[in-house]
Structure 1
Amino acid sequence: MENVNKKAVSSYFGALTFDQKAMLKKLPKEVYQALQKTIKTGNKLSEEIAGAVAHGMKEWAMENGATHYTHWFQPMTGATAEKHDAFLSIDRDGTAIERFSGGQLIQGEPDASSFPSGGMRTTFEARGYTAWDPSSPAFLMKGGKGYTLCVPTVFISYHGEALDEKTPLLRSMDAVSKSAIRLLGILGVDNVSRVNTYAGAEQEYFLVDRKFYSMRPDLIMSGRTLLGAMPPKGQQLEDHYFGSIPNRVLEFMQEVEEELYLLGIPAKTRHNEVAPHQFELAPIFERANIAADHNLLVMEVMRRVADRKGFALLMHEKPFAGINGSGKHNNWSIGTAEGMNLLEPGDTPESNIQFLVFLAAVLKGVFKRSAVLRASIASIGNDHRLGANEAPPAVVTVFLGELLEKVLDAIEAGKVDFATEKQVLNLGLAHLPILNKDYTDRNRTSPFAFTGNKFEFRAVGSSQPISVPNMVLNTLMAEAMDELANEIQEKIDGGVEKDAAILEVLRAEITATKPVRYQGDNYSENLQEAAANRSLPNLKNTPQALRSLLEVDTREMFSRYGVLSDQELTSRLNTRLERYVKGIDIEARTLQLMLKTFVIPDVSEYQGELASSYNALVEASSRIGVSDKALKSQGAHLKELAENLSDLLDLTAELDVVIAKLGSVGEEFEAADFCAEVVLPSMDKVRAVADHLELMVDRSKWELPTYSEMLFEH
């Protein structure tokens, strides 16, 4: 592609995507129309049409320098996968020719044996299929000396089970559409072709100089620092947040944005975050499945640009202890294909009733399925972040703001009768039908906050794909909407007038879901007390959270809506547990290595030099008149160093025993609990001593880059 630095973004936005403009140019009119119908309705393409699309896509890709194509998919690894095939083919007469058939576009067959399946299949059952997802545009990914055509796909097994994260997300979007259309019909809103969910993932991340990263085995192996003393200055002066962006970082951001714009990814804002060398990129809202694809591409593009710029990109939720962690605020909304946002407070009584019903559905779904929602964002990294003084807690609550709280309280108290007051809903507030988007203040401590016309699910971790939490949000919303529709319809069938039926159901749900509404500081102890008093799940770690996926009612919900079969849900549970145990095992062994090959040798060497210096001082003290006080204080310093080193050796030996025992713990939940309750506390104990010693040892003797260097040297 030509240099775009001096061009308006709108002139090259999406230039590397097979978007509407490229399709119109490369596809015959009837083929273009058939493809658009497939994208909008999900209808299958005929083999003839698929062949024409493939040919046009290949011609467009080759014009832009592509020689290979790949089916780009999302296995249950938390990342993406791809296998590149050349367009090159050889005819029978030996002539070289580029080909890309409809069959190659629609379906691929990668070796699936080494991807996680959570026990759903055995290793020798290698067959898996990638199937084209026309709703997500194909794109060209720059790499090496050229481009590769990437075709977004789903990934399924030989027997049709989902082996990826995208298939369940797409299924959940179908489920939420059907349930929403049904509920809208009961409310009197017809002619809705489809209801979509939308997402915008604000991506937080750290950048550190690659020279420091390459000297830290913990960052390389686990993505977070397993050792490191706090620097004298952290984020306490709050001078980094929204501060001036350093030039080197700004160049990184500009190059990232340029590549994202070419890929049709609408990056909107960039800024310094709270912690030193922490930053954020936020996009414009898109359909949830597109947003999920684009967020994975954002992470990939940032990694590649960081490498080129001499940075290491840290996506871990808590790369530095004692420093603000990184999240991925998942802004979520629901609306019709015709452009109606169902979470938009309207300016008429009818639309307000509609808004309140869908608001009640969100409250109902989150309240009923808060444990599953917590499980959707459970991970090793997020366990370190959730509940710390910078992130939403492990308790899932909903923040609505003062105005909406008053509205719901008034409805619950019976101060309004929709059957008689159809012009103005007088709830003691001036003309409720005109609700300003910004009447609600922001609650940065809430895990699930209403922000005007959408909800912000702030507990999602920075390294996590957003497919899973959005799949869960969609499914719990579909269930809640169906339950509301059933309740309203039952009352109408029983002879209650429609508006009165809606009001009765609203009142009941507002009362029932009141425990999940929390307007205070979610960082305070008051929330912990409230959670206990309200019987809200307080799932502190990943094993606790994942147990919610064992509940029969949870499994039935996913199965009923066709999102995950019982077998598919079990596979995800097993995969998540396996990743948790293996991840902590890697962390513990990395810490073990660092203690034995860096920290203990460095401290021992410094202790030897200090002891030699002290002994020399004692020998010379009588000759040069060194006071007893001076000898005592220097001896005390040496003693403290020696005793801490002794403690470190003892705790390292304890960690050795714990690591060895982990290998013999059998059952998955038992191993996960052992990691959470024994391994991690053992790691924390030895770290506390090592970090104290770091502050005692001569810097020239301490080989590991320090927090001060990593966070403040650009």
Structure 2
Amino acid sequence: MSATTRVPEMFATMVFNDHVMKERLPKETYKALKKTMMNGKSLDLSIANIVANAMKDWAVEKGVTHFTHWFQPMTGITAEKHDSFISPTANGEVIMEFSGKELVRGEPDASSFPSGGLRATFEARGYTAWDPTAYAFIKDNTLCIPTVFYSYSGEVLDKKTPLLRSMEAINKQALRILKLFGDTTASRVITTVGPEQEYFLIDKALYEQRKDLVFCGRTLFGAKPPKGQELEDHYFGAIKTRVLDYMKDLDEELWKLGVLAKTKHNEVAPAQHELAPIFSNTNTATDHNQLTMEMMKKVAVRHGLTCLLHEKPFAGVNGSGKHNNWSISTDTGINLLEPGDSPCENAQFLLFLSAVIKAVDEYQDLLRVSVANAGNDHRLGANEAPPAIVSMFLGEELCEILESIETGSSYNKKDAVVMKLGVHTLPRIAKDTTDRNRTSPFAFTGNKFEFRMPGSTFSVSGPNIILNTIVAEVLSQFADQLESSDDFTSALNQLVKNTYTEHKRIIFNGNNYSEEWVAEAKKRGLLNLKSTPDALPYFVSDKNIELFTKHKIFTSTEMHSRYEILMESYCKTINIEALTMVDMVKKQILPAVLKYSGKLCKAAIEKKTLLSLSCCEPEESLVNRLSNLAACLYKKTSRLDTELLAAKEHEKDLKELADYYRDVIFTSMQELRAVADELEALCSEDCWPYPTYSKLLFYI
């Protein structure tokens, strides 16, 4: 059987999807379940029992013995507790059972998950509840049931629940707008996402020799190798055989799980790669991206590799992001961000575009919050990723259209230009009306927006909760205005005009990396929140609490809990990194340097003994430099140790503690690294205690 024949047969074989449900469920049960999935209708327990039994039979036929409620707590990764299908009988034997109650609800211990003060340790009870809009699947011989996660007192403890709520919010408000345009065919509006996932692959044996990679996911030390990404020869280059084998294996594992893995290629940095899926609804895309990250790591082990998902695993080369391609569509297949052949005449498109412009401008702080963590702080603002200043790229054509609306002038549509390549045998290609801007944080790319700021470790739920909610809010404002107007067309035109005039400051089509843009953005009044401690307090501002409570995405208490969780995570991350640095210096780097210095001293003494007049300047000079740097390393390590102890003095105020870690601890870490990296460059490779960048980035 050929590979192309196998893919359709392989795809979604481990998913209890629509095809399987239609085949295995009674017709009325299938219809009831589909209503729940499509329209959010509640599901009767008797129907849940039938679905559960069918799920169990299907899974058991595939060799499955256990099930789990698969959920997404505030750790940013997934969680699962496995239970077997076995149930005892009166004669001492067992049968395989799975009830509707077990399908619909679970009770994992909630006390050890991040709650931001919502739950005390002794208040342990938590619940998982089945999300029937997401397909169950088999992973590691376990039936995984996607669920939401909440506390005994009803507070949301996960990332899926608010995402589902935000999808409902934008659905409700978008349908109001479509109704005004006379669209009676659409019964549901969904947001769709295609998250591109960047990652690094390194040799597993080398990875295990580095404490910083094992404990922190990034290198805390490492001198620059002779070659990095200067030649730009890795991007889209020929994929190494070992990596290609890994990618093939990964594709197959993802396809079995119904993940629409589509594109794979080398990224800019050496050892860096990317996987991109086909678009799917935001809930499914989020689940699938979590599975993708998990499978990337698991499959890598089979190939003697380690997959690094940290935003900045190596200094001096590009870090990894997760570009969040976001759009809005109806259940009738209409993309509401599709300009069409004549966007200047597409009033519906212009209104939805205006809503996004206003939403991004008014809630730029929330978009920055949605991508804030210690890892992403290394990446944002470097010449590889968007800066911390949120802005939008629309391109020349859309900006000219909006300018003409604002000024009341006519827009002259430009004819498509055919590219002339100078070779008669090559096909003629129509040039796009606008270029791409790879430096923009939020770029319009034809019929979607590419939010380029999220880091590679992020769950895409956070950014999409924000996007869905802020656009839902603006659409609700637009609907209120238009529904109360006497002349819809006139009110619509004025609304688009006013929105552009009031919010065009957020639009920037130039080079976001330039210093000129930083100054210009400041003049425009745009925020420049350079670090996580700068950004996170905006999440719990009065304006944003009002937004989320209005649309019932979060309660005020839940928002403050998330603020605490994110701020604590930032502090804990830097604390772990600093402790790891101290440990590596004391137990690996300093002993290695002293040992190497001793070898040089011994060699010089032996040389003088054998040849009294011989020159020992190389040994003496190098030992002198090593000794001075080793003393500096020792002092800086001792200082960092002391500063870590002093962090306890700031624990009463979380913001103060985060600022301390950023301004004091992280600054000392950078200084310590500079000395260690200089020592690495002076020592012989065979004496250095862990693999260098040269080996990590190029030896796979």
Q: Under a length normalisation based on structure 2, what TM-score does the superposition of the two structures give?
A: 0.96
1:710 maps to which of 679, 696, 700: 696
Whether 2:518 is the aligned partner of 1:520: answer: no
1:598 maps to which of 581, 588, 595: 588
Over residues 308-357 of structure 1, what are the superposed CA-to-partner deviations in whole Å (9 max), with x where a residue is unaligned? 11111100000001111000000000111111111000246797111111
Over residues 34-82 of structure 1, what are the superposed CA-to-partner deviations in whole Å (9 max), with x where a residue is unaligned? 1111100111111111111011111111111111000000000010000
Distance verdict in 2 for CA 1:633–1:211, change over 3 Å: closer
Q: Distance in 1 between matches of 2:344 and 2:592?
A: 72
Q: Distance in 1 between matches of 2:188 and 2:20?
A: 26
Distance verdict in 2 for CA 1:633–1:311, change over 3 Å: closer
Instruction: State the secondary structure of the residue aligned to 1:663.
Output: helix
Q: Quote how far apart the aligned CAs of 1:4 are.
A: 9.0
Q: Corresponding residue for 1:548?
A: 538
Alignment of 1:439-454 (within 5 A): 439-454=433-448
CA contact (8 A) 2:540 2:559 kept: no
Alignment of 1:255-274 (within 5 A): 255-274=249-268
Q: Corresponding residue for 1:189?
A: 183
Instruction: State the secondary structure of the residue aligned to 1:381.
Output: helix
Distance verdict in 2 for CA 1:349–1:241, change over 3 Å: closer
Letter of the structure 1 residue corresponding to residue 641 of structure 2 = D
Q: Corresponding residue for 1:137?
A: 135
Q: Distance in 2 between matches of 1:360 and 1:480?
A: 9
CA contact (8 A) 2:330 2:336 kept: yes
Whether 2:114 is the aligned partner of 1:116: answer: yes
Q: Corresponding residue for 1:54?
A: 52
Q: Corresponding residue for 2:489?
A: 499
Q: Distance in 1 between matches of 2:593 and 2:2?
A: 53
Q: Quote how far apart the aligned CAs of 1:188 are.
A: 3.1
Q: Quote how far apart the aligned CAs of 1:523 are.
A: 1.2
Whether 2:561 is the aligned partner of 1:576: answer: no
CA contact (8 A) 1:345 1:351 kept: no
Whether 2:554 is the aligned partner of 1:564: answer: yes
Q: Distance in 1 between matches of 2:575 and 2:492?
A: 53
Q: Quote how far apart the aligned CAs of 1:24 are.
A: 1.5
Q: Quote how far apart the aligned CAs of 1:644 are.
A: 1.2
Distance verdict in 2 for CA 1:308–1:218, change over 3 Å: same
Alignment of 1:195-594 (within 5 A): 195-347=189-341, 352-416=346-410, 427-430=411-414, 438-490=432-484, 492-493=485-486, 497-594=487-584
Identity percentage over the alignment? 50
- Tell me which moved more, 5-14 or 280-289: 5-14
Over the aligned positions, Cα root-mean-square deviation in angstroms equals: 1.7
Letter of the structure 2 residue corresponding to residue 154 of structure 1 = V
Q: Quote how far apart the aligned CAs of 1:499 are.
A: 1.7
Distance verdict in 2 for CA 1:393–1:592, change over 3 Å: same
Q: Quote how far apart the aligned CAs of 1:514 are.
A: 1.1
Instruction: State the secondary structure of the residue aligned to 2:493.
Output: helix
Letter of the structure 1 residue corresponding to residue 686 of structure 2 = S
Instruction: State the secondary structure of the residue aligned to 1:676.
Output: helix
Q: Corresponding residue for 2:421?
A: none
Q: Quote how far apart the aligned CAs of 1:6 are.
A: 6.8
Distance verdict in 2 for CA 1:557–1:4, change over 3 Å: farther
Letter of the structure 2 residue corresponding to residue 641 of structure 1 = L
Whether 2:146 is the aligned partner of 1:152: answer: yes
Instruction: State the secondary structure of the residue aligned to 2:650.
Output: coil
Q: Corresponding residue for 2:419?
A: none
Over residues 275-310 of structure 1, what are the superposed CA-to-partner deviations in whole Å (9 max), with x where a residue is unaligned? 011000000000000000000000111111111111
2:677 maps to which of 673, 691, 698: 691
Instruction: State the secondary structure of the residue aligned to 1:596.
Output: helix
Q: Quote how far apart the aligned CAs of 1:487 are.
A: 3.3
Whether 2:597 is the aligned partner of 1:607: answer: yes
Distance verdict in 2 for CA 1:279–1:388, change over 3 Å: same
Q: Corresponding residue for 1:421?
A: none
Q: Distance in 2 between matches of 1:661 and 1:342?
A: 54
Whether 2:621 is the aligned partner of 1:636: answer: yes
Distance verdict in 2 for CA 1:351–1:157, change over 3 Å: farther
CA contact (8 A) 1:292 1:467 kept: yes
Letter of the structure 1 residue corresponding to residue 44 of structure 2 = S
Q: Corresponding residue for 2:645?
A: 660
Q: Distance in 2 between matches of 1:663 and 1:247?
A: 50
Q: Distance in 2 between matches of 1:300 and 1:4?
A: 28
CA contact (8 A) 1:277 1:711 kept: yes
- Tell me which moved more, 610-619 or 646-655: 610-619
Q: Distance in 2 between matches of 1:528 and 1:188?
A: 43
Distance verdict in 2 for CA 1:431–1:559, change over 3 Å: farther
Q: Quote how far apart the aligned CAs of 1:189 are.
A: 2.7
Q: Quote how far apart the aligned CAs of 1:431 are.
A: 7.9
Q: Quote how far apart the aligned CAs of 1:616 are.
A: 4.5
Q: Quote how far apart the aligned CAs of 1:615 are.
A: 4.1
Q: Quote how far apart the aligned CAs of 1:609 are.
A: 1.7
Q: Corresponding residue for 1:170?
A: 164
Q: Quote how far apart the aligned CAs of 1:532 are.
A: 0.9
Over residues 154-178 of structure 1, what are the superposed CA-to-partner deviations in whole Å (9 max), with x where a residue is unaligned? 0011122111000000000000001
Letter of the structure 2 residue corresponding to residue 541 of structure 1 = S
Over residues 551-596 of structure 1, what are the superposed CA-to-partner deviations in whole Å (9 max), with x where a residue is unaligned? 1010110000010110111111111111111111100000000011
Letter of the structure 1 residue corresponding to residue 57 of structure 2 = E
CA contact (8 A) 2:343 2:349 kept: no
1:646 maps to which of 631, 638, 641: 631
Q: Distance in 1 between matches of 2:233 and 2:199?
A: 18
1:64 maps to which of 59, 62, 65: 62
| Aligned length, in residue pairs | 686
Q: Distance in 1 between matches of 2:343 and 2:247?
A: 45
Q: Distance in 1 between matches of 2:263 and 2:123?
A: 45
Over residues 118-147 of structure 1, what are the superposed CA-to-partner deviations in whole Å (9 max), with x where a residue is unaligned? 1011111111111100111000002xxxx1
Q: Distance in 1 between matches of 2:112 and 2:2?
A: 40
Q: Distance in 2 between matches of 1:437 and 1:153?
A: 46
Q: Distance in 2 between matches of 1:214 and 1:174?
A: 45
CA contact (8 A) 2:343 2:350 kept: no
Instruction: State the secondary structure of the residue aligned to 2:129.
Output: strand
Q: Distance in 2 between matches of 1:349 and 1:407?
A: 8
Q: Quote how far apart the aligned CAs of 1:498 are.
A: 1.9
Letter of the structure 1 residue corresponding to residue 655 of structure 2 = F
Letter of the structure 2 residue corresponding to residue 583 of structure 1 = T
Q: Corresponding residue for 2:426?
A: none
Q: Distance in 1 between matches of 2:256 and 2:384?
A: 34
Distance verdict in 2 for CA 1:707–1:49, change over 3 Å: same
Letter of the structure 2 residue corresponding to residue 522 of structure 1 = N
Q: Quote how far apart the aligned CAs of 1:639 are.
A: 1.9
Q: Corresponding residue for 1:92?
A: 90
Q: Distance in 2 between matches of 1:688 and 1:617?
A: 33
Q: Quote how far apart the aligned CAs of 1:403 are.
A: 1.0
Over residues 485-535 of structure 1, what are the superposed CA-to-partner deviations in whole Å (9 max), with x where a residue is unaligned? 233345x24xxx322211111111111111110111111112211221111
CA contact (8 A) 1:51 1:102 kept: yes
CA contact (8 A) 2:600 2:619 kept: no
Structure 2: gaps of 5 or more residues: 417-429
Q: Distance in 2 between matches of 1:651 and 1:349?
A: 60
Q: Distance in 2 between matches of 1:349 and 1:318?
A: 39
